[in-house]
Structure 1
């Protein structure tokens, strides 16, 4: 009968921001190591609360391991690998067996089947998991040498109704745990079997399932919001953080002092409530009237204290705004020379000069853009970085600039929007001035940081190079802009060449390739085959991302049509002949074909159509009529078929053979005017 494994580590409070990493790590460890040792199970579930991490392995097969052999290194591996394998398993070379896997030979050794014990295995694996668990921060406590996120209180580990004596940091597992710190009926809870665990915890005010706790919080907030005709201001990150702070969610609601908040922008009030106080906000869409927080114990005095703290924060914000408003934004622009953009790239004031120049340059490709408004927006966009409010609330940069600006409505909106999009879900700026300044700002940062030697590798991207690149591409695509990206990069790079003393600025190609990689990742999310994307983007002429995206979409749809498959078949037929002929020939010199050597009428007709098709395709591609260019390629079909069926390429005459091969190479080059069809994998 399948068994159930329950493991719990009870500790002091685990920071909620580390919950997701811990759950993933624990689950991956168990699944990997159990599977590696051929331990059969139905499901692994990992739960985490503020005080405990819990692991369930359901329907565990506790019989002896059916696979009685241990896989070793490849037979071609080095002697060190083989000796290490034998030493680890305490075997000699005489014990080695060979088995073939996927056509390759590997060493194996037999296990001593009577030595395997599931309880010993579970104990050793969990203790190993404890030792190797990677927390972003960990600590030691008392005289213990072992490290964990917080001091461990107890360990529980049971296989069915039997305790597995897992030991770590001087604590040995038992079948005893604790419920809610304040609300539990009993100080200690005895667990008879894994099946009883969840029920016993809930009876003692612990909701183990993260999603269930989250739903409990949302339900309480929604009921309050409905009763007061309000709505919750969405903040999924904060909601998840609050879910991780408690084991039995109790939601308290407090009032936002309207007298203290009436003159404050909604974004300021939200920033104080969400960021500083870690409360959720409820309002009517214009104003915030209540806040919600999650606690362990209900106490009216607690919420009164929270309200007083919030009032003080709001009063501080009013004071800072009143101080900021003593000067206009031009005053703060002059203060930007004291704020460093990057140690190698100068101050923010220097950056403002660059983005002003670049935004004016690219404005000519942005419909309805006013150079006067673009210049003014670029000049003021970063001014609020020098204000007291933004120094206190960095997340309000741009928003406070728009609040302080006494300018045209489009300029005010553009100052606010020019940081967008910050994340993949945030909408892109729409006003012409905001588009110009946002693009210039992001490109300036991207180019500058690449010049300064900053990189994004793996998960490390300290300066958000990927985020900036994706922002540039999204703005261009979503607004259907036709900005020549290479000229855009050139302009931005040229401004750094005068300000980055000693820094090599010849990194334009690196920036272009980095942008193309982000462009590919965006397009591939639309389920477009990578080979189609690469067949368009590999061309040196790529300079307009909106046109490239349009071509990718058209080619993707076209290849699913009979005409598209015909184009690919023609290319493949010609390509196969050319590739084979070049491979077999010692002379790889591919000169242009000569008309006087075209003897058969089939090759003359093919050559004539090639001349016509070349001119037509060049013109249609220049006019961005991509589908018309593809249709033109379909016209090759009858001429290619006639040529292949009636003209002998590998004829006795070496001169004629080379000339006919050159004609086919010319046809291949005409196809490449449209896309690199050799990269396509059409089924």
Structure 2
């Protein structure tokens, strides 16, 4: 068995491309080999800023021979009177088989001639030589470039290429205009610590030889080493490092031989908000901050950086980085001090100069809309004193035009909170300003205060209605205004805070206001806009419930329906109810009480679709005619439905669905007798009036069950 090495050497690659490229290779290279009947024992992938590599172990020296079956002409055309025609002779010659070996087989389209032949496997060296260029040029990503005078695109210029099958060089070349990159066994070590070329003698020696040249090619091992170095460095200065996973991954892909370096800054800068210091360190300098203790936010005047240089020059490297961070923090202190010379409210007029969206006006205009939507939310929630909420809504975007946020946009909200406090705003207002941006991403914490929740909802609802109103609906992966994330956040905030909001009513109010104020630029009709938003939120609710591992997929379908407008509107009118019904269905599935009503309700629901009864009526009195009853089982069914009405209405009003399930369980034997007992009836009677009367009985039972869920969507438990 052989080992194959592919290394693509480049100028320093963008850090994010390394992971992207290796992930693509992880799926494409093994599949490409399988497509050519090659099944290696394993494939390993490596990457550093200057190289991408794949090591394929356990390859055979050649492909296994393959038996092929080729379909030829119809039997009638290939043979006449039992003798082969020119069609048969030509087919056999083309396939390189004896005429006598042709077989006639029956197919769906009649009898056809088939030939079987053995395809001799190619040497693996030839196959790899053909495949490798496609593996390289097939990579996709952002910021691809051309260089020299060729058309070859890659994130950075390709400088060398290693292709070894064990110790044999495979002849692979990448043509780029007048230049070509021809494969060899020569690689390169670390730019500083080992600037000389390396001769890769054997594919299996690759990792060891690169390690000797101060290049750690294994991404995961390099990351583990970096994390360990950071933690040890923090312990040396009596602190605990803040290791942001995304920053750790980025730094891992910025170095080939990592060395931790401890730097220090003036303690006076600790007067700055910790968020300013950590943002400067992480986002701008790729430093790791150091805390006094893991469970506190108190920073120490140190930072840890990962160097790709000479470890013996660590002191010089530290000095250079200290000079940079001192300048950056000095700027931050200047911005912080300058911003605080004015109250936060004084920045509101400047928001007129910041455009939210060309057709929607300034951020200041958006703030006014946020205040209006916040008022509508507080009205629904019967909040008696909304002074803090309105104040937070007014000031929530004011920090966007401060010098600090202008320099560090990721601090929006964070600085608003700080400046609100120094301006004498209440604690509730200050907290709401920072919380209204939460959650910022998947897994992020949610706002915990009512003002923060309401302002956050108002901001996102305004954005959704406004952008949808312009006809800019997200399509595919294109979502420049992060509308999916906004809608998901709205649902999560409502669920987490148990806010009894009627989202459907809010959509109706906000869209009406939008139509009045932006009629000139509004693309869909008012009704279309509302329907689009309803569907959009319904999809988000469905996704969130499906991602909740506590709820089975079919139970999600049961509470939301499938393009069921009644269920869509019901979910939006009461998000808490749709969540609770899904969880309750899971509960009764787990305790098996669902089984007591499933068969009866499901059978009734299926048959009820043959009738004309609507899906919301509950009272049998005006819909069922007892005079048409032919069996006592029909009267018993009717009487049970009459008694069920108040129980269902009580359960619905109190959202006590256990009461409804118990009531349905009580009626189940009566319905079973209607179907299968000694007094059973044929539902689909030949008399249309009798048939509809019986279907109405079943439809009413279905409707009572629909108060909880669409039982037709529930899959029977095994």
Kindly provide the CA deviation profile for residues 543-594 of structure 1, in whole angstroms up to 9, marking residues without a partner as x.
Answer: 1111211110000121233320121111233345556799xxxxxxx99431
Counterpart CA distance in 2 for 1:335 and 1:415 is: 18
Secondary structure of the residue aligned to 1:316 is helix
Instruction: Give TM-score, length-normalised by structure 1.
Output: 0.90
1:567-586 mapped onto 2 (5 Å cutoff)? 567-578=597-608
Counterpart CA distance in 1 for 2:108 and 2:488 is: 41
Counterpart CA distance in 2 for 1:136 and 1:555 is: 45
Q: Any conservation in 2 of the 1:618–1:673 contact (CA below 8 Å)?
A: no
Aligned residue pairs: how many?
655
Kindly provide the CA deviation profile for residues 81-131 of structure 1, in whole angstroms up to 9, marking residues without a partner as x.
Answer: xxxxxxxxx989x9999999999x999997762363321111111112223
Secondary structure of the residue aligned to 2:145 is coil
Secondary structure of the residue aligned to 1:574 is helix
Matching residue within 329, 336, 342 for 1:321: 336
Kindly provide the CA deviation profile for residues 344-400 of structure 1, in whole angstroms up to 9, marking residues without a partner as x.
Answer: 211111111111111122124558774011011111111111111111111111111
Judged with a 3 Å threshold, the aligned counterparts in structure 2 of structure 1 residues 110 and 473 are, in CA distance, closer, same or farther, namely farther
Counterpart CA distance in 2 for 1:106 and 1:448 is: 64
Counterpart CA distance in 2 for 1:138 and 1:568 is: 57
- Structure 2, unmatched stretches of 5+, are 75-93, 562-566, 613-619
Secondary structure of the residue aligned to 1:54 is strand
Matching residue within 134, 138, 160 for 2:140: 134
Counterpart CA distance in 1 for 2:62 and 2:260 is: 47
Partner of 2:280: 272
Partner of 2:264: 255
Partner of 1:536: 559
Matching residue within 661, 669, 681 for 1:630: 661
Secondary structure of the residue aligned to 1:206 is coil
Partner of 2:37: 38
Partner of 1:523: 545
Partner of 2:705: 671
Judged with a 3 Å threshold, the aligned counterparts in structure 2 of structure 1 residues 99 and 481 are, in CA distance, closer, same or farther, namely farther
1:159 aligns to 2:180 (yes or no): no
1:558 aligns to 2:570 (yes or no): no
Counterpart CA distance in 1 for 2:114 and 2:355 is: 61
Partner of 2:299: 287
Counterpart CA distance in 1 for 2:379 and 2:460 is: 18
Q: Any conservation in 2 of the 1:578–1:661 contact (CA below 8 Å)?
A: yes
Partner of 1:475: 493
Secondary structure of the residue aligned to 1:559 is helix
1:98-247 mapped onto 2 (5 Å cutoff)? 113-114=119-120, 116-169=122-175, 170-184=180-194, 187-247=196-256
Matching residue within 403, 417, 423 for 1:402: 417
1:442-453 mapped onto 2 (5 Å cutoff)? 442-453=460-471
Counterpart CA distance in 2 for 1:98 and 1:130 is: 45
Offset of residue 189 of structure 1: 2.0
Partner of 1:15: 14
Judged with a 3 Å threshold, the aligned counterparts in structure 2 of structure 1 residues 177 and 471 are, in CA distance, closer, same or farther, namely same
Kindly provide the CA deviation profile for residues 284-307 of structure 1, in whole angstroms up to 9, marking residues without a partner as x.
Answer: 231242112122223222221211
Partner of 2:626: 595
Kindly provide the CA deviation profile for residues 445-471 of structure 1, in whole angstroms up to 9, marking residues without a partner as x.
Answer: 111111122232332221111111111
Counterpart CA distance in 2 for 1:385 and 1:100 is: 75
Offset of residue 326 of structure 1: 2.5
Query: Which region of structure 1 is more displaced relative to structure 2, 51-60 or 35-44?
Result: 35-44
Secondary structure of the residue aligned to 2:555 is helix
Partner of 1:81: none
Secondary structure of the residue aligned to 1:497 is helix
Partner of 1:413: 431
The CA RMSD over aligned residues, in Å, is: 3.0
Q: Any conservation in 2 of the 1:253–1:290 contact (CA below 8 Å)?
A: yes
Q: Any conservation in 2 of the 1:5–1:194 contact (CA below 8 Å)?
A: yes
Offset of residue 648 of structure 1: 2.5
Q: Any conservation in 1 of the 2:163–2:169 contact (CA below 8 Å)?
A: yes
Partner of 2:681: 648
Offset of residue 161 of structure 1: 2.6
1:363-374 mapped onto 2 (5 Å cutoff)? 363-364=378-379, 370-374=385-389
Matching residue within 576, 597, 603 for 1:546: 576
Secondary structure of the residue aligned to 2:444 is coil
Judged with a 3 Å threshold, the aligned counterparts in structure 2 of structure 1 residues 574 and 145 are, in CA distance, closer, same or farther, namely closer
Partner of 1:423: 441
Matching residue within 465, 473, 478 for 2:483: 465
Judged with a 3 Å threshold, the aligned counterparts in structure 2 of structure 1 residues 102 and 359 are, in CA distance, closer, same or farther, namely farther
Judged with a 3 Å threshold, the aligned counterparts in structure 2 of structure 1 residues 142 and 626 are, in CA distance, closer, same or farther, namely same
1:374-393 mapped onto 2 (5 Å cutoff)? 374-393=389-408
Counterpart CA distance in 2 for 1:97 and 1:329 is: 88
Matching residue within 514, 518, 521 for 2:536: 514
Counterpart CA distance in 2 for 1:394 and 1:221 is: 27
Counterpart CA distance in 2 for 1:368 and 1:664 is: 44
Partner of 1:614: 645
Counterpart CA distance in 1 for 2:120 and 2:591 is: 63
Kindly provide the CA deviation profile for residues 591-630 of structure 1, in whole angstroms up to 9, marking residues without a partner as x.
Answer: 9431211232211011111122133212211221122212
Q: Any conservation in 1 of the 2:606–2:712 contact (CA below 8 Å)?
A: no
Secondary structure of the residue aligned to 1:498 is helix
Q: Any conservation in 1 of the 2:289–2:299 contact (CA below 8 Å)?
A: no
Counterpart CA distance in 2 for 1:178 and 1:70 is: 48
Instruction: Give TM-score, length-normalised by structure 2.
Output: 0.85
Offset of residue 209 of structure 1: 1.1
Query: Which region of structure 1 is more displaced relative to structure 2, 397-406 or 455-464?
Result: 455-464
